[in-house]
Amino acid sequence: MFEAAIFDWDGTLGDTRQVIVASFQKALSEIDCKVSDEYIERRIGIGAADTFRDILRSAKTPFDEKTVQRLVKRKSELEIELTDQVSLFPGARELLDTLHGKIKMCLASMNNRSVITHLIKAKDLEKYFDAVLTTESITHSKPNPEIFLKAATILGAEPEKCVVVEDSLFGVKAAKSAKMGCIAVLTGVYSKEELEGEKPDLIVSTLEDKRVIEYILRQ
C-alpha cells in the first residue's frame, strides 16, 4: 500500500475549467488582450503566472513582471468570485472519504493559495488534507517534480511510497519524474492517447472507477 496520496485540484478533484477560463479571459480583457479558450485550457496546471507570460508573448503584448503579478492577482479575485460555479467531480469526495485515516493526503496545485484555500474551505474539504501546497510553495512549475517531492517530504514519505492523482500532461510528467505512482483521470482537457504517452500507471475516466481505490490501497 502507498503511504501517501497527492492530489491535483483543477481538473482532478475540482471541475474548474470554465471558471478558470472565464477568470483568465476577464483579466486579459481588461488589458485588451485576446486569446482562445483552448489556449488557456491547454495550460491549466502550469500556474497562472507562466500562463499569462505565454499568452502575452504569443499576443506580442509588451509586459513586465509587475503586469504579470497584477494579472495573477486579478484572475485569482475573479476565480474566488465564481466559487459557486465550481463543483467536485463525481467520486471525488467519496474517494477522499475512503482514504481518510488510512493514508496521508496532500493537495498539490499550481493554482494560487488564495484560490485554493478559499475553495477547499467552501467545499468542506479541509479535514482531508495533511498538507496543501500551491504555486507559492515552490520555485519550479509542473512538469518539474518539485511540488510533488516537497509534498512527500512534508508528509514524511519516500517518493516511491507516494501516488499522484492528476489530469494534466504536466502533472503526469512531474509524477513520473518524481518516481511516484501515478493515476491519470480523463476529467481534464487531455485525451487518453495523450496521457498514455506519459505512461501513468493507471488511466481512468472518472474517480468513481473502483480501480482507483484498489490501486492506492493495494497490498
Query: What's the mean pLDDT in 88-108?
Result: 98
What band does 218 get if pLDDT is binned at 50, 70 and 90?
Answer: confident
- Among 24, 80, 17, residue whose Cα is nearest residue 52: 24
pLDDT digits (tens, 9 = 90+) for 103-122: 999 999 999 999 999 999 99
pLDDT at 219 over 90: no
> What structural domains does the chain harbor?
4-16+86-216 (3.40.50.1000), 17-84 (1.10.150)
Residue bearing cell 474539504: 125
Whole-Å CA distances, 118 to 106, 111, 187, 192: 16, 12, 22, 31
Query: What's the mean pLDDT in 12-28?
Result: 97
pLDDT digits (tens, 9 = 90+) for 31-85: 999 999 999 999 998 999 999 999 999 999 999 999 999 999 999 999 999 999 9
What band does 145 get if pLDDT is binned at 50, 70 and 90?
Answer: very high
Q: What is the model's pTM?
A: 0.94
pLDDT digits (tens, 9 = 90+) for 174-209: 999 999 999 999 999 999 999 999 999 999 999 999
Query: What's the mean pLDDT in 129-136?
Result: 97
Dihedral sign for Cα atoms in the order 211, 177, 148, 205: negative
